[in-house]
Structure 1
Amino acid sequence: MPASKATESATPSLPADDFKAIFRGHPGGVSLITADAGDGPVALTATSVASISVDPPLLVFSISALSSAAKVLTRATTVVVHSLDAQDIDVAKLGATSGIDRFAQKQTWSRLSTGEPVFDGVRAWVRCEVIERVQAGASTVFVARALQSQIERDSELGQPGNGLVYHNRTWHGLGEHSRLDS
């Protein structure tokens, strides 16, 4: 596998602890990603999900090669990206906890007619086709095209809603109390 241009540079990189400190202070929206490449479902919590295009509808996320879900996600042709809010904190924690069976409680998830695992009652989810994978350091960046979605809870335009973010190793809920503009 060829090295990325970021790893080929002769200029020394920023130390890992400094890089981590920068991103600990940068809040990220919380998502849960699920997939099944034929060997059983996997799930992981991610803060790297971002939309990159509306036409076509594309999103991007990255996962560490150290993730227990990495092998399945590198083979999966489709994934479900769950967009979580503060009401979904238990689902976020489930996907972030290592060493457990994230699908042990059958009443909390089901399968779409196309076979992908989806957690029930979350704010929203989008089923996607993985169209590209790019190796980037010790992670894989996924580009996925949105195929199908469901919104369970939506906020009115301009209203704060109750978003879930991860900041400085702690979960936070957004709401009217965290709104800075008027």
Structure 2
Amino acid sequence: MISADEFKNAFRLHPSGVALIAADPGEPVAFTASSVSAVSADPPLLMFSVSALSSSALSLRLVDTVVVHMLAADNLDLAILGAKRGANRFADRTRWRRLPTGEPVFNDVHTWLRARILHRIDAGGSTVFVGTAIESGATDTAESDDGLVYRNRTWHRLSPVSAMRLPELAAIPLN
């Protein structure tokens, strides 16, 4: 087996999309995650993990649903807010609202998915959550927004100029 440091070094060089995951087990909680992945389109399943050391870890064991906010580059402030230890992520009531079902949703996010948690899987020092997407919201500009990724302990903007144009590979699906 490789060491924890070797493993972390390998993954810190692998870019990840950035999301803010929010829930309300009685009081709203949110945290920034780079572990969100699509599992299946039919049914629409997603997954994410949270470290047992996260202040949100225990709260997530109590909820049936979460809202996964897919962050764009202009949401960097939300990514930082969700990553800060001890921050009151919900202090500014103008930045978020509640869905009719009670979950918190941040207003300036261009795309979000509400998911029902199907499985919680303990894995090392983390818990992997698998959920089915049951509701979504997107703005008209969501597709044209610059993406936000995290790589090598730094935030990066993905824009049209960062796209690699390879026409012969464009039609090849990744999965």
Give me the TM-score of the superposition, normalised by structure 2. 0.91
In structure 2, the residue matched to 1:181 is 165
Q: 1:35 matched to which residue of 2?
A: 23
Q: Name the CA distance, whole Å, in 1 between partners of 2:5 and 2:128.
A: 22
Superposed displacement of residue 45, structure 1: 0.3
In 2, the alpha carbon distance for the partners of 1:180 and 1:126 equals: 28
Letter in structure 2 aligned against 1:96: A
User: Residue 32 of structure 2 corresponds to which residue in structure 1?
Assistant: 45
Give the aligned partner of residue 147 of structure 2: 163
- Verify: 1:86 aligned to 2:73, yes or no: yes
Superposition deviation, residue 121 in structure 1? 1.8
Matching of residue 149 in structure 1 with residue 105 in structure 2: no
Query: Deviations 1:79-138 (Å, cap 9, x if unpaired)?
Result: 000001101111111101111111000000111000001101202111110011000000
Is 1:26–2:10 an aligned residue pair?
no
Q: Secondary structure at the residue paired with 2:131?
A: strand
Q: Return 5+ residue gaps in structure 2 as ranges.
A: 167-175
**Distance in 2 (alpha carbons) for counterparts of 1:139 and 1:163:** 26
Structure 1: stretches of 5+ with no match in the other structure? 1-12
Aligned partner (choices 136, 151, 156) of residue 172 of structure 1: 156
Cα separation, 2, equivalents of 1:33 and 1:109: 13
TM-score normalised by length of structure 1: 0.88
Cα distance in 1 for residues equivalent to 2:12 and 2:89: 25
What is the deviation of 1:155?
1.8
1:171 alignment partner, SS class: strand
- Among the aligned pairs, what percent are the same residue? 52
| CA drift at 1:177 | 2.2
Q: Which residue of 1 aligns with 2:119?
A: 132
SS of the counterpart of 1:92?
helix
Q: CA deviation at 1:55?
A: 1.1
**Amino acid in structure 2 at the alignment position of 1:49:** V
Q: Distance in 2 between matches of 1:97 and 1:59?
A: 24
- 1:136-162: per-residue Cα shift (whole Å, max 9, x none)? 000000000111110023226xxxx41
Q: How far apart are the structure 2 equivalents of 1:110 and 1:155?
A: 23
Among residues 64, 79, 95, which one is paired with 1:77 in the alignment? 64
Q: Does 1:61 align with 2:45?
A: no
Amino acid paired to 1:165: V
Structure 1 runs (4+) greater than 6 angstroms displaced: none
Q: For 1:117 and 1:64, how far apart are their aligned partners in 2?
A: 21
